Structure 1
Amino acid sequence: MAAEQETAKGVDALIARLRHDGVAAGTAEAERLVADAQAEAARIVADAEDAADRTRAEAKRAADRYARAGEEALNTAMRDAVLTMKSTLMAQFEQDVQRMVSAEMSDPEMLRRMVLELVGRAGQAASVGEGASVILPAEVVGPEAITANADDIQSGALTKYVLGLAQEKLKAGVTLYAASDLHGGIRARAGDDGVALDLSDQAIAALLMQHLQPRFRAVLEGVIK
């Protein structure tokens, strides 16, 4: 009987130890699994945060690139617009100068004074020599004057009354001509091989633009940045 009791106690003790050891082992395994799960979760969270940081950084870089590209495009467009405006204003200014000069130098009275200044007997300015020719705009001379000189139509010479100038008012040998390609001002030549003088509206306007263009450009640079 005593032996059986001892055996029963040993079995109970073994069962209790096994139960204790099993619970401890299970608890340890559970704790290990929990720790592994937590570590894995932490790694996943860290990877996700890194990926999110990379995504945000790339998005910021892309946004910066787009912003720079947009700013550069805007600056280029503004620069082109300014250049176009300056070019347009310069061309308009040149046209205005040409128009004003043409209007002034198409005036018959102005042409008359120019002819007298050049070849008049009054000696107000240096005259051209014998055999000189003075070319006037045909549209200013008018069809009546050209018709009145029909006897000289082959040579184009206007040896009679033109712009209120009779031939006797001019120096001997000076002949007036009309040219359809001249719209304002006059041209003169001292003989066939002599010095040519271009006082046409285009030549005067070009000379004025050489003087005025740098100043007008400086004004544009100061006003339009």
Structure 2
Amino acid sequence: MRNSNESSGVADLIDRLRQQGVEAGQTQADALLEQTRLRAEQRLEDARHEAEGLLQQAREEADQTRRAGKEAVQLAVRDAILRLKSIVVEQFVDRVQRLVKRELENGDFLKQLILEIVGSSTLSAEQPAQLLLPEDVVGLEQLRANPEAVKEGTLSHFVAALTKEMLREGLEIGTLGDRSAGIRIQLRDEDVEIDLTDQAISELLLSHLVPRFRAMMEGIIQ
């Protein structure tokens, strides 16, 4: 009877130990599962934050790229407009210079200009002066040697006829010495030169016209 009781006690002990082991194992398993779940949730949260950060970074980079592209386009447009304005102004300047030169190369206009200068109070018998004409307009040596022999109707003949008396009274005829169109008057005693060449007249006109042309162009090309 005693052996039977002892056997029963041992069996109960084994059952209790087994049950405790199962419960301990279950507890550990539950704890491990909870830790795994928490780690998984944390990793998912970290991944979500990282994805949001990457998305935000991508958006910022895209915005920067768009802004940089927009600024580049605006800069290119501005440079193109500036180049266009510069080209238009250069063409305007060239046009004015060519018009002035063409007008001063016109014999009739040059005759009128010389007539205005010679007939003005600027020149007098008491004031030694030199009238400088374009080299290709007047035959200087022929005019000096024999003014009457110069062909009638030419600018040289006009100058000879107009200055015949003044040549005796101190007005000399010379050449400009360059390819300028127009005339220059040099008043020797006063060390003064009246420059009516195409360069001088163009510069004077352009100093007034170019600012106005630029202002007008600003309203057209913006």
The corresponding residue for 1:181 is: 178
How big is the shift at 1:89? 1.2
The corresponding residue for 1:129 is: 124
Pairing partner for 2:162 from 162, 169, 172: 169
Normalising to structure 2: TM-score of the pair?
0.83
Deviations 1:179-209, CA, capped at 9 Å, x for gaps: 2314211111233544321111111111111
Does the Cα contact within 8 Å between 1:132 and 1:189 map onto a contact in 2? yes
Does the Cα contact within 8 Å between 1:129 and 1:190 map onto a contact in 2? no
Deviations 1:157-192, CA, capped at 9 Å, x for gaps: x79746131534335233322223142111112335
2:32 equivalent to 1:33: yes
Alignment of 1:141-220 (within 5 A): 141=138, 145-146=139-140, 148-149=142-143, 151=145, 161=150, 163=155, 164-165=157-158, 167-170=160-163, 172=166, 173=169, 174-220=171-217
2:54 equivalent to 1:55: yes
The corresponding residue for 1:10 is: 9
CA distance in structure 1 between the aligned counterparts of 2:133 and 2:96, rounded to whole angstroms: 21
Secondary structure of residue in 2 paired with 1:198: strand
CA distance in structure 2 between the aligned counterparts of 1:100 and 1:111, rounded to whole angstroms: 14
Normalising to structure 1: TM-score of the pair?
0.82
| Structure 2 unpaired stretches of 5+ | none
How big is the shift at 1:72? 2.6
| Structure 1 unpaired stretches of 5+ | 153-157
How big is the shift at 1:45? 1.8
Matched residue type, 1:64: D
Give the root-mean-square deviation of aligned CA atoms: 2.5
Q: How many residues are treated as equivalent by the alignment?
A: 212
Q: Which moved more, 1:7-16 or 1:130-139?
A: 7-16
The corresponding residue for 1:91 is: 90
How big is the shift at 1:47? 2.2
